[in-house]
Chain A
């Protein structure tokens, strides 16, 4: 448990505070929806309500992360977001295909939802069309994935943020600056076991110390790719949920924890971890936890 010498930026994304010194704000938890099969809106509504309740109980903000994999889902999912989430509540959209990203941005603009949108994500695959669309329809926040196929170490992640590692003409941070996105979150790009999986955790303090930006990752991906865990089904769920403590322990600000169904395990675990960190960082560094911190809500 530690404190950064670099001044830490704190963003208010449509009411959710993220970033700062360890122990100040609760870890923000992103729960994924619609990754598998057809979108099941009834179940999604239940899961979101459950996550919002857990968030209310623990103080850890829960942000639904909507995966959009087909064009036909864009309007349906965005209309669902508009109808289901509390007024002004932030959400993230998680899209791989550049064409879908462009169409989704345009629809979010039309529905006046960009001020609540966390764009997941910007990375080395960004092309001119996506860049131009983002300039035109700018979301309030974006997650940058610091994936560097040449170098998966913390240094490689810094390199891709700084100068694009010769994979693109500009560093990802500059790209986001040129777009005009104000609230930037860094995802340290968790890799499968055997691909320097630990680097996504080790990179968190490195990146926070370098840039002071809110940082986290989807460590859940590493658990998913640990095939040997399939032999231990019950334990795998525990490992999946508890893997996220690495993020807060290493000073991170957010965890993209996998399917939203895992929320009932992830929220109490992370709340517990956040309390542990806060007790120490307040005592040693004088970091007073925010009024919504689990330490204030649960103790």
Chain B
């Protein structure tokens, strides 16, 4: 009703309160790296709503050439930066070009690859703006786990090339068949669902780990709250495989499907488990 009151009083709608509540939950849980929580919209619509050539419907429809027309998530990251204590870092999260491509209904290109590249060029412009304000740029590409296109590395490279902050590629789902390709991606950190898909440890074990790892440690779609000891045990398994390549601990994926109190407790336990093993 708050939003409607803004309408009835014809006042500007301020989304900052929603961002603030997500950010403060993350700060209070003890996390070091904080995102804007993506409260504004679904992770697809946040981007397609502000790109040329996209028309938001049930699924976003592509009705023209996809082009950047101005900042997308930049203002929200600036706001996060403003309210964060100096000791915390900001993660700018971009939904990846392939995931955007696969999530939209293409009525214009009839060519998945060209569409994916145009999304990548647009996201590159956003990343260039973002890099002045964030400490890490994370690219979210869940669709890579369903099918990795032959041009996957190229579209990620379009975004990450010549960026100053470190970059991370997050691919949730079962990535056991594409680990070799993932390790070859032009990013600094790989992030996967190691809690929901513990078999990934066995697959990664077979490779020389050349990237830093963001270890998924709590399930993002289950109500059961993992205990601190359970998470510690999970991280230890990760250390056996990745050693000091583990540079970040995180939930498996975004926690938007969970009730707020459950999500918060999961984060708290995650932080406690991390502190037990790595100290603060």
Chain A contact residues, CB within 8 Å of chain B: 96, 98, 123-125, 127, 145, 147, 149-151, 155-156, 158-159, 162-163, 165-167, 189, 191-192, 195, 221, 224-225
Per-position binary interface string of chain B over residues 1-19, scored 1 when its CB falls under 8 Å from any chain A CB and 0 otherwise: 1011111101011010000
Q: Which residue of B lies closest to A156 (CB)?
A: B56
Residues of A within 8 A of B12 (CB): 195
Contact pick for A155, options B4, B41, B42, B56, CB 8 Å: B56
Contact pick for B10, options A123, A156, A191, CB 8 Å: A191
Kindly provide the distance from the CB of B86 to the nearest chain A CB, expressed in whole angstroms.
Answer: 31
Which 10 A-B residue pairs are closest in the complex by CB-CB distance? A125-B4, A125-B1, A149-B13, A147-B7, A192-B10, A149-B3, A155-B56, A96-B8, A159-B56, A155-B55
Can you pick out 29 interface pairs between chain A and chain B where the beta carbons lie within 8 Å of each other? A96-B4, A96-B5, A124-B3, A125-B1, A125-B5, A127-B1, A147-B7, A149-B3, A149-B13, A149-B15, A150-B40, A150-B45, A150-B49, A151-B56, A155-B57, A156-B49, A156-B56, A158-B56, A158-B57, A159-B56, A159-B57, A163-B58, A166-B41, A166-B42, A167-B3, A189-B7, A191-B7, A191-B10, A192-B10
Contact B7 A145 (CB under 8 A): yes
Kindly provide the distance from the CB of A73 to the nearest chain B CB, expressed in whole angstroms.
Answer: 17
Contact A151 B4 (CB under 8 A): no
Kindly provide the distance from the CB of A68 to the nearest chain B CB, expressed in whole angstroms.
Answer: 13
Q: Which residue of B lies closest to A222 (CB)?
A: B10
Contact pick for A147, options B4, B15, B49, CB 8 Å: B4
The majority secondary structure among interface residues of chain B is loop
Per-position binary interface string of chain B over residues 141-184, scored 1 when its CB falls under 8 Å from any chain A CB and 0 otherwise: 00000000000000000000000000000000000000000000
Kindly provide the distance from the CB of A99 to the nearest chain B CB, expressed in whole angstroms.
Answer: 11
Contact B6 A149 (CB under 8 A): yes
Interchain pairs with CB closer than 8 A, number: 55
19 additional A-B residue pairs with CB within 8 Å, beyond A96-B4, A149-B15, A156-B49 = A98-B1, A123-B7, A124-B3, A124-B4, A125-B1, A125-B4, A147-B4, A149-B7, A150-B41, A150-B49, A155-B56, A159-B56, A162-B57, A165-B41, A166-B42, A166-B45, A167-B3, A191-B7, A195-B12
Q: Which residue of A lies closest to B11 (CB)?
A: A192
Interface residues of B in 82-110 (CB under 8 A from A): none
Q: Which residue of B lies closest to A195 (CB)?
A: B12
Q: Which residue of B lies closest to A149 (CB)?
A: B13
Residues of B within 8 A of A96 (CB): 4-5, 8
The majority secondary structure among interface residues of chain A is loop
Q: Which residue of A lies closest to B46 (CB)?
A: A150
Residue count of chain B within 8 Å CB distance of chain A: 20
Residues of B within 8 A of A195 (CB): 12
Bound CA–CA A159/B58 (angstroms)? 7
Residues of A within 8 A of B41 (CB): 150, 165-166
Residues of B within 8 A of A125 (CB): 1, 3-5
Per-position binary interface string of chain B over residues 42-59, scored 1 when its CB falls under 8 Å from any chain A CB and 0 otherwise: 100100010000011110
Q: Which residue of A lies closest to B13 (CB)?
A: A149
Interface residues of B in 25-69 (CB under 8 A from A): 40-42, 45, 49, 55-58
Residues of B within 8 A of A162 (CB): 57-58
Q: Which residue of A lies closest to B14 (CB)?
A: A149
Bound CA–CA A96/B8 (angstroms)? 8
Kindly provide the distance from the CB of B24 to the nearest chain A CB, expressed in whole angstroms.
Answer: 21
Residues of A within 8 A of B13 (CB): 149
Residues of B within 8 A of A163 (CB): 58
Residues of B within 8 A of A189 (CB): 7
Q: Which residue of A lies closest to B50 (CB)?
A: A151
Bound CA–CA A184/B55 (angstroms)? 25
Per-position binary interface string of chain B over residues 117-153, scored 1 when its CB falls under 8 Å from any chain A CB and 0 otherwise: 0000000000000000000000000000000000000
Bound CA–CA A192/B11 (angstroms)? 8
Kindly provide the distance from the CB of A127 to the nearest chain B CB, expressed in whole angstroms.
Answer: 8
Kindly provide the distance from the CB of A157 to the nearest chain B CB, expressed in whole angstroms.
Answer: 10
Residues of A within 8 A of B7 (CB): 123, 145, 147, 149, 189, 191
Bound CA–CA A116/B82 (angstroms)? 53
Residues of A within 8 A of B40 (CB): 150
Bound CA–CA A165/B49 (angstroms)? 11
Q: Which residue of A lies closest to B12 (CB)?
A: A195
Given contacts A151-B49, A191-B10, A221-B10, contact A123 B4 (CB under 8 A): yes
Bound CA–CA A234/B58 (angstroms)? 45
Kindly provide the distance from the CB of A183 to the nearest chain B CB, expressed in whole angstroms.
Answer: 22
Q: Which residue of B lies closest to A210 (CB)?
A: B57
Q: Which residue of B lies closest to A96 (CB)?
A: B8
Residues of B within 8 A of A166 (CB): 41-42, 45
Q: Which residue of A lies closest to B5 (CB)?
A: A96
Residues of A within 8 A of B49 (CB): 150-151, 156
Bound CA–CA A163/B60 (angstroms)? 12
Bound CA–CA A165/B44 (angstroms)? 12
Q: Which residue of B lies closest to A224 (CB)?
A: B10
Residues of A within 8 A of B8 (CB): 96
